[in-house]
Amino acid sequence: MLTNIKKPFLTDSVKRLTLLNIGIFFLILILFNGLLVSFIYYIVHKNMDHRIEHEMDKVKQTLSVTQNSITVLDSSELKESDFYDLTASPYFLQIINNKNEIVLTSRNVTLFKSLPVSQSQIKDKYFESFDFNNTTFRSGYTNLFDANGKKAATLQISVYERNFQVFIQELLYFNIGAIVFFIIIVIAASIWAAKKTFKPINQIIETAYSFNVQNLSKRINVKANPDDEIGRLRDTLNSLFERLEDYVVELTHFSDHVSHQLMNPLTAIRTELEYLQKKDRDTNEYKEALTGLQTQVVSLISIIKTLLVIAKSGKLKSESKTVFNLSKLIKTDIYNYFKNYNVMYEIDENLYLRGESEKYLMVMQNLIYNAIKYSPDSCDIKVIAYRSADKIILQVEDKGIGIEEGEKDNVFQKFYRSTQAEKLGIKGFGLGLSLVKSIIDEASGTIEIINNMPNGTIFKIILSAVELND
């Protein structure tokens, strides 16, 4: 029963989906913060470099540059508080000659004694960040040229970058502090999403669990688009349930029919044996009784043999390696079997088929026997076999009672008996045509029923011909 189905709150699938979402969240968070920090670095450095570049241009206007000396023409710029003291946003100025000697500094540089100088080759303007005395700086460099256009020195202006570093640290601390909160949100959202996603699957499981022999009509009624995975799973399982229901119903009917058909000869045998055991009989009575028993046994063997062939046919459609001569089979075995009946033959020579000749012998015997059984004694039965392109056409024609249009598909079902046959009291088991259909299907052939005007029936079989190489 459904109450026995264990439904844990957190299944392995839910756990996997939750862990996957957490992993994706962390990856997105890392990528986002990496991009964010890089963008902030770019924007902040761009602003710093713009400030530094602006100050360098102003300072250069106050200087007189020669190969031997750097002279300050206007000291008012260097006496501003940002060059003079350690303000909130100071500028640290250093001028380095071609001998890599510091020849001029702003007053606030003396509080650090000196600042490092970049060893990079400076062509025009160059910017970099560096750490010094536990403080991060951003420096800009530009070359100073004399009147002849020769490089005489390098101007370096540096600013604090520590405020920016503090901002980055606070951003990272914020992300670390918020990560626990986000994990809880992601876990809760993942569990909710997983439950929502797996809800139709759980409904499908419950419906499939309740499907049994007593409840064959059960179907899955989950709302989903047919192209969606859930919709495809629903439709696939419903199709499976329908096939199972058809199979179980067919199996039940088959079992009932088999039991009924087997019971008839078995009951007749038992009745005959009980009759013989009541008292002593003369020789003629025993012979007559044995003849009747033999007839019932032959009938029983025929039923069982036919059922075995039907059960095996179509299970494995692997191509048979056996090839036989259909023309010879009809002209010898079939002709001898029906030599006492009005059967006419139009058979082409050298018609070869792939498969077991015994099965096709059963096909021909059943079709011709049916034609004889359902036709008047005076009417001829015609058997035709010929080749058309790569196909072999096999036809059995009669001028009997015919088959109604609405029954042509049904006559191939096991134990089916046509209305006309029942009305006329024609005996039969309803297995012959089912056997024929099974063998033809196994050979990937086709069989159809055609009206034989003005009356009668034509069974037309189309099979693949085999070309024998010389």
**Nearest one of 52, 83, 78, 60 to 152, comparing CA atoms:** 60
Domains along the sequence of the chain with CATH: 14-169 (3.30.450), 229-312 (1.10.287.130), 323-464 (3.30.565.10)
Interatomic CA distance for residues 135 and 162, integer angstroms: 6
Contact 109, 115 (CB under 8 A): yes
Euclidean distance between CA atoms 71 and 65, whole angstroms: 7
Looking at mean pLDDT, say which of 27-41, 60-74, 210-224 comes out highest. 60-74
pLDDT tens by residue, 66-89? 888 888 888 888 889 999 888 888
Q: Say if CB 314 and CB 441 are below 8 A apart.
A: yes
Query: What would the mean pLDDT of 95-104 be, rounded to a whole number?
Result: 88
Alpha-carbon distance of 151 to 124, in angstroms, equals 11
d(CA 447, CA 392): 12
- Rounded to whole angstroms, the Cα distance separating 261 from 129 reads 100
Name which residue leads in pLDDT, 410 or 155: 155
Least confident of 101-105, 140-144, 243-247: 243-247
pLDDT digits (tens, 9 = 90+) for 375-404: 887 678 899 999 998 999 999 998 888 887
The model's pLDDT over 222-273, given as tens digits with 9 standing for 90+, comes to 777 777 777 888 888 888 878 877 777 766 656 655 665 566 677 778 887 8
Beta strands 102-105 and 323-325, pairing class: unpaired
Sheet strands side by side (includes 135-145):
102-105, 92-97, 151-160, 135-145, 125-132
CA gap 229, 452 in Å, rounded: 51
Computed over every residue of the chain, the mean pLDDT equals 80
The predicted model scores a pTM of 0.45
Could you report the per-residue pLDDT of 270-329, keeping only the tens digit for each?
887 887 788 777 888 778 878 877 877 776 776 676 666 666 654 445 456 789 999 999
Q: What's the whole-number mean pLDDT along residues 202-229?
A: 74
- In this predicted structure, what is the pLDDT of residue 3? 44
